[in-house]
């Protein structure tokens, strides 16, 4: 028994070391490859300047702005929908309908992003173009709407899970006091579960930021700083996908590693934040 | 001549036709007999219709052969074949001196193709001068009204840096003038066609082989970009379609390229809207 246990332990241990190692290795790899540019002390220039390779400008500013705008807007659209949906599943749950809805939401997580991209191009983009009568319809708004559909299952499932952790006795107490469902939701469920909900929000934000295909297909990919939500914009991920085909020796190609580092920093920051919140909650 | 005789004659002629046709067919594809490998092709997106048709015919003839076709753009094709990731890397432009020297590439040109500025068929604007085209793509002209069209902003579509179509259009139609940074970027000839087809206020550019009723090819300086005008050299925004291999083509890759250059391949190239080379 003892030997078996040690063997299993070491297998699991090495597996975790391996996966953690890969993550670290990737960040190291990107830093090494971006070194020629980092050495020139251009890091902060890259953050703010525009992208015009023909004029010797290789700034990632527009892409960073584009990434944050699209991901943040996706979150803003997705949050109320997810909240309502999880309220329906977790609290209202008329005639056990919530269970079925939850199953549907779960299966939504399995839809490949390219499908959303397709739907976006053929349905959403023409709609946005005709509705607002400005631009091509390939814009921040379209991409954000599609992304919000992509991230909402993550959010809904997290919300429902955190609602389920609210102690039944508290809920019974509200019923005993004669409170209605809405009061129960706002005064008992939300205060109890906001930390779990925050985790879901942050994870969805990371997912929205890391998604490539939807942005590549429907955000338009222009390299100008976006001025409104109806302007075409390019995300860092789409930028990397577009530039990676350029030849290896060009400066363009080297800058995409810097883009990778920015993305890495932004997504890991959101995940570390999540972990931090988790620990606080468990200590409480 | 009785009716019976006539029937026999017709039957005989039909049989003769199939015999001859069948012979031609198998002669061309015979070289693929007994092959069992995978052939990987990537790069130029203008090449894809021809590549697909050739692959379909070869794989129908000999199901043991697997041919995979990917896009990515000319830059990607050259890079991937140079790095040994694919067997044939297509490009819609000549590989540069540097690329040839670095990887030891061999270029084979099998078609000539034009690059045309295209607009949505609903657009009233059908002709442009080269200067107007440059002004549109550089962002100086931003509304169709300025050219006599509807009062709608112009949505400019362009391709990414790896595109051979882009490099030819930029050099020969735009004379290397700037492309506005507000332009939307799409990643293949197919995606460009879809984008222009769906957006009534758009302008973009695609390979002449891709033009059909869903987009309208702009008459540039009085010349309409068609198969004929490209062939006769009247329409100047033209380029070769190349297939590149690392070193001389060998094995299946060589047979594939030979097939493209043979009579069957040339017919196929013509059917797909390109001009076969001699």
How many beta-carbon pairs under 8 angstroms link A with B? 68
Which of A136, A233, A254 to probe the B interface (max B CBs under 10 A)? Answer: A136
Domain containing residue A74: CATH number: 1.10.3720.10
Rounded to whole angstroms, what are the CA distances from A103 to A88, A90, A106, A108, A200? 13, 13, 5, 9, 18
Domain shared by A29 and A102, yes or no: no
Residues A72 and A32 placed together within one structural domain of the fold: no
pLDDT in tens, B17-52: 665 555 455 577 888 888 888 999 999 999 999 999
Place of tokens 């309409």: B224
Q: How far apart are the C-alpha atoms of B126 and B83, rounded to whole Å?
A: 43
User: Across the interface, do A224 and B181 touch by the CB < 8 Å criterion?
Assistant: yes
Residues of A in contact with B202 (CB under 8 A): 136
Residues A137 and A171 in one domain: yes
On whether both A137 and A169 belong to a single domain, the answer is: yes
Question: Do A213 and A82 lie in a common domain?
Answer: yes
A232 CA: distance to closest CA in chain B (Å): 7
**Same domain for A269 and A162:** yes
Share of residues in chain A with pLDDT > 70 (%): 95
Say if the Cβ atoms of A121 and B198 lie within 8 Å. yes
Cα–Cα–Cα angle for A56, A58, A64, nearest 5°?
A: 155
Token pair listed for B178: 């700037």
CB B193 within 8 A of CB B214: yes
Residues A63-79: pLDDT tens digits?
Answer: 989 999 999 999 999 99
Written as six digits, the tokens of B134 are 């440059």
Q: What is the pLDDT of residues B39-96, one digit of tens each?
A: 999 999 999 999 999 999 999 999 999 999 988 889 889 989 998 999 999 999 988 8
Using CB atoms, which residue from B79, B99, B199 is nearest to A129? B199
Chain A interface residues (partner B, CB cutoff 8 A): 50-54, 62, 121-122, 125-126, 129, 134-138, 216, 220-224, 231-232, 234, 242-243, 245-248, 252
Contact B49, B272 (CB under 8 A): yes
d(C-alpha B137, C-alpha B145), whole Å: 16
Task: Specify whether A34 is located in the same domain as A70.
Answer: no
B186 and A125 within 8 Å at the Cβ level: the answer is no
Mean of the per-residue pLDDT values of chain A = 86
Output the pLDDT for position A243.
84
**How many domains, chain A?**
2
Same domain, A55 and A36: no
Select the residue of B178, B180, B198 nearest A126 (Cβ to Cβ).
B198
Of B72, B181, B199, the CB nearest to A50: B181
pLDDT of residue B21: 54
Residues A27 and A71 in one domain: no
List CB contacts of B176: < 8 A, sequence separation 6 or more: B170
Residue of A nearest to B142 (CA): A135
Task: State the DSSP H helix or E strand holding residue B83, giving kind and residue range, or none if neither.
Answer: none
Q: How many CA atoms lie within 13 A of A67 on its CB side?
A: 26
pLDDT at B136: 94
Q: Quote the CA–CA distance of B22 and B45 in Å, as a whole number.
A: 32
User: Closest Cα to residue A281, out of A165, A172, A142, A175?
Assistant: A165
Express each pLDDT in B248-266 by its tens digit: 988 899 999 999 999 989 9
Chain B: closest CA distance from residue A216 (Å): 8
- For residue A22, the enclosing domain spans 2-41
Complex ipTM tops 0.85? no
Of A221, A245, A252, the CB nearest to B76: A245
Q: How confident is the model at residue B110 (pLDDT cuts 50, 70, 90)?
A: very high
CB–CB of A222 and B76 under 8 A?
no
How far, in Å, are B72, B102, B135 from residue B99 at the CA level? 17, 5, 32
Q: Tell me phi and psi for residue B60, to 5 degrees.
A: -70, -40
Min Cα distance B78 → chain A (Å) is: 9
Q: Are residues A75 and A102 in the same domain?
A: yes
User: Pick from A122, A138, A245: which is nearest to B160 by CB?
Assistant: A245
Is the predicted pLDDT of residue B15 greater than 70, yes or no? no
Structure tokens at B114: 């034009």
What is A60-86 written as a DSSP string?
-HHHHHHHHHHHHHHHHHHHHHHHHHH
Q: Which tens digit of pLDDT belongs to each residue from A163-206?
A: 999 888 888 888 898 888 888 888 888 888 888 888 899 889 98
* Portion of chain A with pLDDT greater than 90, in percent: 26
Same-domain status, A159 and A104: yes
Name the β-bridge partners of A193: none
Residues A35-52 have a mean pLDDT of 77
Kindly tell me if the per-residue pLDDT of B16 is higher than 70.
no
Which residues of A fall within a CB distance of 8 Å from B161? 53, 242-243, 245-246, 252
Are A262 and A139 members of one domain? yes
């Amino acid at each position: 028994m003892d030997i078996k246990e040690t063997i299993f332990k070491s297998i699991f241990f090495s597996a975790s070391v391996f996966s953690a190692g890969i993550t670290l290795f990737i960040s190291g790899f990107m830093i090494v490859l971006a070194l020629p540019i980092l050495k020139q002390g251009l890091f902060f220039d890259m953050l703010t300047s525009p992208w015009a390779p023909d004029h010797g400008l290789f700034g990632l500013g527009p892409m960073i702005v584009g990434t944050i705008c699209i991901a943040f807007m996706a979150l803003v659209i997705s949050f109320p929908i997810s909240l309502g949906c999880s309220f329906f599943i977790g609290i209202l749950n008329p005639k056990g309908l919530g269970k079925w809805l939850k199953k549907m939401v779960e299966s939504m997580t399995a839809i490949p992003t390219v499908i959303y991209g397709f739907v976006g191009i053929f349905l959403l983009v023409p709609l946005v173009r005709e509705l607002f009568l400005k631009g091509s319809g390939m814009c921040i708004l379209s991409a954000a709407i599609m992304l919000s559909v992509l991230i909402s299952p993550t959010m809904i499932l997290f919300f429902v899970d955190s609602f389920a952790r609210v102690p039944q006795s508290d809920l019974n107490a509200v019923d005993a006091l004669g409170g209605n469902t809405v009061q129960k939701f706002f005064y008992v469920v939300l205060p109890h579960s906001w930390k779990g909900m925050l985790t879901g929000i942050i994870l969805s934000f990371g997912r929205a930021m890391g998604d490539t295909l939807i942005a590549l297909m429907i955000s338009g990919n222009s390299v100008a700083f976006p001025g409104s939500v109806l302007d075409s914009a390019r995300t860092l991920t789409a930028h990397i996908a577009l530039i990676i085909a350029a030849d290896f020796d060009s400066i363009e190609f080297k800058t995409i590693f810097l883009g990778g580092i920015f993305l890495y920093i932004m997504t890991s920051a959101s995940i570390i934040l999540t972990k931090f919140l988790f620990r606080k909650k468990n200590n409480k | 001549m009785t009716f019976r005789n006539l029937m026999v004659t017709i039957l005989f002629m039909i049989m003769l036709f199939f015999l001859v046709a069948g012979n031609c067919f198998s002669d061309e594809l015979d070289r693929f007999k007994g092959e069992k490998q995978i052939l990987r092709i990537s790069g130029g997106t203008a090449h894809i219709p021809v590549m697909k048709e050739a692959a379909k015919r070869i794989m129908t003839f000999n199901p043991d052969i697997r041919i995979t076709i990917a896009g990515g753009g000319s830059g990607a094709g050259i890079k991937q074949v140079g790095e040994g990731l694919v067997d044939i890397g297509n490009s819609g432009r000549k590989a540069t001196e540097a690329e040839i020297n670095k990887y030891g590439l061999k270029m084979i040109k099998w078609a000539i193709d034009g690059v045309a500025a295209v607009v949505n068929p609903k657009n009233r604007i059908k002709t442009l001068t080269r200067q107007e085209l440059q002004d549109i793509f550089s962002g100086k002209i931003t509304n169709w009204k300025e050219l006599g069209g509807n009062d709608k902003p112009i949505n400019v579509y362009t391709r990414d840096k790896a595109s051979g179509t882009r490099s030819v259009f930029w050099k020969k139609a735009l004379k290397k003038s700037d492309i506005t940074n507000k332009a939307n970027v799409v990643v293949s000839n197919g995606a460009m066609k879809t984008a222009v087809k769906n957006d009534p206020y758009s302008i973009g550019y695609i390979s002449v082989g891709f033009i059909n009723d869903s987009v309208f090819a702009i008459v540039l300086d009085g010349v309409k970009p068609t198969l004929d005008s490209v062939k006769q050299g009247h329409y100047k925004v033209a380029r070769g379609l190349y297939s590149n291999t690392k070193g001389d083509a060998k094995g299946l890759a060589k047979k594939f390229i030979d097939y493209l250059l043979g009579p069957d391949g040339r017919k196929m190239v013509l059917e797909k809207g390109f001009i076969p080379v001699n």
